Amino acid sequence: MGDKDFYSRLKIARKEAKESAYWIKLLKSSNPNLEIEIDKLLKEAEELRKILSAIIKKF
């Protein structure tokens, strides 16, 4: 896998993490009784997005 391909896949992964956070937020609004568990998932999605963003910036 070349650098351009790797960079492209990183950007896709970051986009997917952002989209996952969006859907988790929607899930949270419709399931207030699961707020603690959903908050953990949301935090993980945001952390993953930040990690991927940091890697992309170094490219």
The domain tally of the chain equals 1
In-domain check, residue 7: no
In a domain, 45, yes or no: yes
> Does the residue 5 lie in any domain?
no
**Segment 4-57, tens digit of pLDDT:** 999 999 999 999 999 999 999 999 999 888 888 999 999 999 999 999 999 999
Q: Residue 23: what pLDDT?
A: 96
Q: How many CA atoms lie within 13 A of 39 on its CB side?
A: 5
pTM of the model: 0.84
The answer to whether position 4 is within a domain reads no
Residue 35's domain comprises 13-58
Assigned domain for 3 exists: no
Residue 25 contacts by C-beta under 8 Å, 6 or more apart in sequence? 42
